[in-house]
Amino acid sequence: MWRKEDGKGQEPPEISTGSVNPTTATKPGTSSLSGFAAPPVSSKSAACVSQGIKIKGELTGSEDLFVDGRVEGRITLSNATLTIGPNATVKADLTAREVVVRGRVEGMVSGSERIQVWHTAHIHGELKSEKIGIEEGAELHGKMEAGKPTGPPAVAGSSKRAEPNKHKDAASGEEKSSSGAAVAGAD
Amino acid sequence: MGFLSKLGIAIGGSAPRESVRSLPHGRNGNNGNGRAVAVGPSRQPEIQETTRVSNGLKEFLWNLDGLGRGTLLDLGPAWQTTLSFFIERGFRVTSEDILRGWAEFLREEELHKEERSVENYAQRTPEGLAKKFLNENLKYAPGSFDALLLWDALDYMEPTLAKYTVAHLTELVRPGGGVFAMFHSKKPEGFQRYRVTGTNTLQVLSAKPICPAQKVYQNREIQELFGRYRSVKSYVSRDQLRETLFLK
Per-residue pLDDT of A152-172, as tens digits, reads 544 433 444 444 334 333 333
Q: Return the higher-pLDDT residue of A161 and B114.
A: B114
Q: Which of B122, B61, B114, B72 is nearest to B94 (CA)?
A: B72
Q: List the single residue in B with minimal CA-CA distance to A115.
A: B7
Is residue A121 helix, strand or coil?
A: coil
Q: Return the higher-pLDDT residue of A7 and B86.
A: B86
Strand partners, B71: B92
Q: Return the higher-pLDDT residue of A44 and A157.
A: A44
Give me the residue from A120, A136, A151 closest to B38, CB to CB. A136
Strand partners, A91: A72, A106
Query: Do residue B233 and residue A145 have CB atoms under 8 angstroms apart?
Result: no
Minimum distance, in Å, between the CA of residue A132 and any CA atom of chain B: 8
Would you tell me how many other CB atoms lie within 10 Å of the CB of residue A122?
Answer: 17
CB A161 within 8 A of CB B67: yes
pLDDT tens, position by position, A50-96? 999 999 999 999 999 999 999 999 999 989 999 999 999 999 999 99
How confident is the model over B63-78, as a mean pLDDT? 86
CA dist., res. B240 & res. B37, Å (int): 26
CB A56 within 8 A of CB A72: yes
Minimum distance, in Å, between the CA of residue A44 and any CA atom of chain B: 23
Minimum distance, in Å, between the CA of residue A26 and any CA atom of chain B: 42
Q: List the single residue in A with minimal CA-CA distance to B146.
A: A154
CB A157 within 8 A of CB B66: no
Query: Most confidently modeled of A4-18, A112-126, A141-155?
Result: A112-126
Residue B29 domain flag? no
Query: Do residue A159 and residue B67 have CB atoms under 8 angstroms apart?
Result: yes
CA dist., res. B57 & res. B202, Å (int): 8
Query: CB pairs below 8 Å between A and B: how many?
Result: 198
Q: Return the higher-pLDDT residue of B124 and A6.
A: B124
pLDDT band at B102 (very low <50, low <70, confident <90, very high): very high
Q: pLDDT at position B240, please?
A: 83
Structural domain boundaries, residue B129: 34-247
Query: Do residue A187 and residue B231 have CB atoms under 8 angstroms apart?
Result: no
Reply yes or no on whether the pLDDT at B13 is more than 60: no
Residue B100 domain flag? yes
pLDDT band at A137 (very low <50, low <70, confident <90, very high): confident
What DSSP designation does B118 have?
G
Q: Return the higher-pLDDT residue of B46 and A1.
A: B46
Query: Do residue A187 and residue B174 have CB atoms under 8 angstroms apart?
Result: no
Which of A129, A161, A167 to mutate to probe the B interface, most B CBs <10 Å? A161
Q: List the single residue in B with minimal CA-CA distance to A125.
A: B96
Residue B62 domain flag? yes
Reply yes or no on whether the pLDDT at A11 is more than 70: no
Give me the residue from B66, B100, B236 closest to A160, CB to CB. B66
Q: pLDDT at position B237, please?
A: 80
Domain containing B173 — which CATH number?
A: 3.40.50.150
Give me the residue from A136, A141, A162 closest to B100, CB to CB. A141
Q: How many domains does chain B have?
A: 1
Is residue A130 helix, strand or coil?
A: strand
Reply yes or no on whether the pLDDT at B160 is more than 50: yes
Residue B9 domain flag? no
Q: Nearest-5° angle of CA A100, CA A106, CA A109?
A: 45
Average pLDDT score over chain B: 80
How confident is the model over B49-53, as a mean pLDDT? 87
Residues in chain B with CB shorter than 8 Å from the CB of A175 are 234-236
| Nearby residues of A185 by Cβ (< 8 Å), 6 or more positions away | A175, A177, B185, B219, B234, B235, B236, B242
Residue B226 domain flag? yes
pLDDT tens, position by position, A94-131? 999 999 999 999 999 999 999 999 999 999 999 999 99
Strand partners, B199: none
Q: Return the higher-pLDDT residue of B178 and A149.
A: B178
Give me the residue from A132, A156, A180 closest to B175, CB to CB. A156
Q: Return the higher-pLDDT residue of A185 and B161.
A: B161
Strands A175-176 and A139-146: unpaired
How confident is the model over B16-39, as a mean pLDDT? 40
Q: pLDDT at position A19, please?
A: 33
Residues in chain B with CB shorter than 8 Å from the CB of A185 are 185, 219, 234-236, 242
Residues in chain A with CB shorter than 8 Å from the CB of B16 are none
Reply yes or no on whether the pLDDT at A9 is more than 50: no
Give me the residue from B62, B83, B96 closest to A132, CB to CB. B83
Reply yes or no on whether the pLDDT at B130 is more than 80: yes
Residue B6 domain flag? no
pLDDT band at B26 (very low <50, low <70, confident <90, very high): very low
Reply yes or no on whether the pLDDT at B247 is more than 80: yes
C-alpha to C-alpha distances, A52 to A70, A74, A124, nearest whole angstrom: 7, 18, 22
What DSSP designation does B24 have?
-
Residues in chain A with CB shorter than 8 Å from the CB of B200 are 171
